Amino acid sequence: MDKRFADLLLEYAQASTDEARKQIEDTLWQDFGTVKAVFVMDMSGFSRLTQRYGVVHYLSMVKRMQLTAAPVVEQYGGEVIKFEADNCFALFPDSYAAVRAAVAMNAAFFGMNIMTSDEFDIRISIGIDYGDVLLIGGPDYFGAIVNRASKLGEDIAGPGEILMTEEAFKKIPAGAEIQGKFSKFSISGIDLKVIKVDF
């Protein structure tokens, strides 16, 4: 975590008035905030695979996922923020770039799976949101959109699914030919209008 960011968080916790906290919060968003598309990819079915084949099998698949995912993210102008367990957390300049990368990533793993036996197949689920995010170094990022994208990618989306919040979907340019079906979900007290992308 960036030292200045950490220092400001400590000041926030020690501030004695709401006004002082508000000023610190404004400074944090001004200095560390940005507006981006957040992309969270999760490998599906990994608890079951690990239990059946063991941790070395799991780690080998995670490594293959990382080697495949990173170039796809970069190809569409994104940046991998971190790989954590069987997840890929990335940022994109806009929703359109994120969803194009998501489609390409699914295609890449589908092609890879043709060449492997079933126990080595990698299936992914992806969540995308768009809005304000704090980039704090480390590497890491925070914000409501990170939480929502994580819920979509890790908890709601099934294998091969791309789910976007309504806010992210609305940022796709007209004529981009990205279509999907609307649904509503409530998870961990968060109500979400979600689009399952057709591809």
What percent of the chain clears pLDDT 90, i.e. is strictly above it? 72
Structural domain containing residue 137: 32-198
Q: How far apart are CA 175 and CA 171, in angstroms?
A: 12
Mean local confidence (pLDDT), 12-28: 95
For 77-114, the pLDDT digits (tens) are 999 999 998 999 999 999 999 999 999 999 999 999 89
- CATH code of the domain in which 188 resides: 3.30.70.1230
Q: Is residue 157 part of a domain?
A: yes
Half-sphere exposure of 53 (CA within 13 A, CB side): 16
For 131-179, the pLDDT digits (tens) are 999 998 777 899 999 999 999 999 999 999 999 999 999 999 988 888 8
Q: Is residue 3 part of a domain?
A: no
Contact between 91 and 133 under an 8 Å Cβ cutoff? The reply is yes
Q: Is residue 24 part of a domain?
A: no
Q: How far apart are CA 18 and CA 33, in angstroms?
A: 21
Q: Is residue 25 part of a domain?
A: no
Q: Is residue 23 part of a domain?
A: no
Q: Is residue 7 part of a domain?
A: no
For 53-71, the pLDDT digits (tens) are 788 988 898 999 999 999 9
How many domains is the chain partitioned into structurally?
1
Q: Is residue 181 part of a domain?
A: yes
Q: Is residue 131 part of a domain?
A: yes
Q: Which pLDDT band holds residue 20 (cuts at 50, 70, 90)?
A: very high
Task: Look up the pTM and report it.
Answer: 0.91
